């Protein structure tokens, strides 16, 4: 019997992993963990991990020596669980894309789209297109002695077009962004919820709505 050896390459760091690969991995993890951690098929998890990040079919994974599989799987896990830093800029061809300079200047439309795209891994490339846009102007602030820049205005249709190209950029962009947003957006969503509730109450008052009857207010007991 001739022993067949499968040759494959594995990523040395996250720079060698694409956004598309990372998105596929997160989707697989969500599927396998949907019935709880105690019901996860760990062998299938490892098979999928090697297949996705080493870019080989599942049938090929089954032919690789188990010791090699476990070593590569552990290495990839360390890459994914390592410290994720926010990437502030990247290049796509000759074009430079930079992150939204200030979250506080984010428009409501940008916030709504970002919130939606953050919910599912299949939309992570769309999420990138909200926060990273082509650089419009770069200048040096002589007073503060810092470089300042302006990115192009948010255009949802143009962002969708670019998002397809973002599937091939390094995964460091999406891992850093999602890690940052999951902590930042929690606070932003609480603030937005409070703001919207306040606006709704204000409109009801202006329209003369009886809050007690609407169920949105409290009536004082007369007992």
Global pTM?
A: 0.79
Q: What is the pLDDT of residue 140?
A: 80
Q: What is the pLDDT of residue 185?
A: 60
Kindly list the averaged pLDDT for each block of 10 residues, start to end, along the chain of length 223.
70 96 95 88 95 96 94 95 91 94 87 90 96 90 82 94 97 93 65 52 47 38 41
Spell out the long-range contacts of 51-59 with Cβ–Cβ below 8 A and sequence spacing 24 or more.
52/21, 52/24, 52/25, 52/28, 53/10, 53/11, 53/17, 53/21, 53/25, 54/8, 54/9, 54/10, 54/11, 55/8, 55/9, 55/21, 56/6, 56/8
Q: What is the pLDDT of residue 186?
A: 60
What is the spatial distance between Cα 73 and Cα 79, in angstroms, rounded to a whole number? 10
Q: What is the pLDDT of residue 19?
A: 98
Q: What is the pLDDT of residue 192?
A: 54
Q: What is the pLDDT of residue 190?
A: 53
Tell me the pLDDT tens digit for each residue of 169-204: 999 999 999 988 877 766 555 555 554 555 555 444
What is the residue extent of each domain of the chain? 14-81, 89-203
Angle between helices 19-32 and 42-53 (to 10 degrees): 170
């Amino acid at each position: 019997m001739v022993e067949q050896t499968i040759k494959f390459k594995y990523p040395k760091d996250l720079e060698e992993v694409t956004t598309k690969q990372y998105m596929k991995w997160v989707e697989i993890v969500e599927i396998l963990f949907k019935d709880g951690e105690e019901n996860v098929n760990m062998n299938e998890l490892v098979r999928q991990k090697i297949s996705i990040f080493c870019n080989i079919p599942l049938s090929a994974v089954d032919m690789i020596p188990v010791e090699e599989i476990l070593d590569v799987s552990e290495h990839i896990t360390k890459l994914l669980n390592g410290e994720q830093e926010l990437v502030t800029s990247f290049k796509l061809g000759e074009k430079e894309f930079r992150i939204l300079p200030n979250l506080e200047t984010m428009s409501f439309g940008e916030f709504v789209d970002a919130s939606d795209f953050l919910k599912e891994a299949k939309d992570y490339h769309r999420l990138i297109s909200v926060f990273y846009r082509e650089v419009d102007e770069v200048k040096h602030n002589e007073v503060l002695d810092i470089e300042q820049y302006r990115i192009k205005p948010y255009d949802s249709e143009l962002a969708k077009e670019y998002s397809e190209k973002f599937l091939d950029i390094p995964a460091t962009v999406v891992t850093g962004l999602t890690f940052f947003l999951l902590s930042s957006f929690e606070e932003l969503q609480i603030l937005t919820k409070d703001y919207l509730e306040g606006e709704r109450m204000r409109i009801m008052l202006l329209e003369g709505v009886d809050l007690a009857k609407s169920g949105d207010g409290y009536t004082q007991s007369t007992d």
